[in-house]
Amino acid sequence: MYTRAMEIPVSGTYPSVGGGSLAFHDSGGSGSPVVLLHGWMTDRRVYADLLALLSNDRRYIVPNLRGTEGAVEDYSIDAYVTDVVTLADQLSLSSFALVGHSFGGQLAQHVAARAAERVTRLVLLNPVPTTGLPLPDEMAGHFRGAGGNADALGGILDNVTVALPPQTRERLLAVAVAQAPETIAGCFNTWSGGLPDAAVEIRCPTTVVATDDPVLTQDLLRTAVAEKIPGAESAHLPNNGHYPLNESPQQTASLLDRLLE
């Protein structure tokens, strides 16, 4: 069972490629809009700890991404991007900042390239490179087949975090276990494969935030992400693993508030 702090109220739904709809949270208000995109194995609730600490001067929009509410046929990057742009259209967002974590960071880069005239700022938290992140065959098979298996999914969380509180781990694990195995496999194939030959042109100010993540290391994010985006800056959140928004939410919120000013 989730604690109240983990819940984010549903504000509405938006249409998804191929049919159906997905839930999103909209904090409302007249502040500058910021769309936050979650990563693999999670849904919009991964941002609950962070939202409670971010400045109230902005409008935060946090959608569930395709597959999180049930298996879908299309897990392509194009479908994910189209969904996000559709949400922005539905909410009449003429401009907005994007924050993306992990796979959400990979996706945010593609959204920023497609909607270049609308995305004003990009903050990428441990983002997967747009070209993907190939893993050794055995590890890839383990990740791809982890759906519905609490031990496997919990092991993945444990191996990429360094300061995740036990109660937070259980909340994140419950979200991961509840996702369809097809979504765990399909989304994994998408982010690990990436689009190696695609030209992703990003023109907005961008900050790539690294931690002490054992897989998406500072060096990898600098060379595979930051150096490929003109003018991109790098930042470091020490003593965090792959989930800084949950491992050190106050530290992460303070950084985001500064970057989104």
Strand pairing class (21-26; 233-236):
unpaired
DSSP secondary structure of 122-151: EEEESPPPTT-----HHHHHHHHT-TT-HH
pLDDT at 5 over 70: no
pLDDT at 30 over 90: no
DSSP secondary structure of 12-32: EEEE-TTS-EEEEEE--SSSP
Beta bridge partners of 61: 26, 35
pLDDT at position 138: 94
- The domain locations on the chain are 4-259
pLDDT-based confidence at 1, cuts 50/70/90?
Answer: very low
Summarised one tens digit per residue, pLDDT across range 41-90 is: 999 999 999 999 999 999 999 999 999 999 999 999 999 999 999 999 99
Summarised one tens digit per residue, pLDDT across range 117-127 is: 999 999 999 99
pLDDT-based confidence at 6, cuts 50/70/90?
Answer: low
Q: What secondary structure letter does DSSP report for 234?
A: E
For domain 4-259, give its CATH number from 3.40.50.1820, 3.90.1150.10, 3.40.1010.10, 3.30.230.10: 3.40.50.1820
Least confident of 6-10, 232-236, 245-249: 6-10
Note the Cα 52 to chain centre separation in Å. Answer: 17
Decide if 216 contacts 191 (C-beta within 8 A). Answer: no
- Residues 160-193: b if buried by 16+ CB within 10 A, e if exposed: bbbebeeebbbbbbebbbebbeebbbbbbebbbe
Query: How high is the mean pLDDT of the chain?
Result: 95
Mean per-residue pLDDT, 25-54: 95
> SS3 of 232, please?
coil
Choose among 163, 39, 8: nearest CA to 107.
39
Question: Could you give the CA distance from residue 260 to residue 32 in angstroms, rounded to a whole number?
Answer: 9
Write down the pTM of the prediction.
0.96
Q: Which residue has the higher pLDDT, 74 or 29?
A: 74
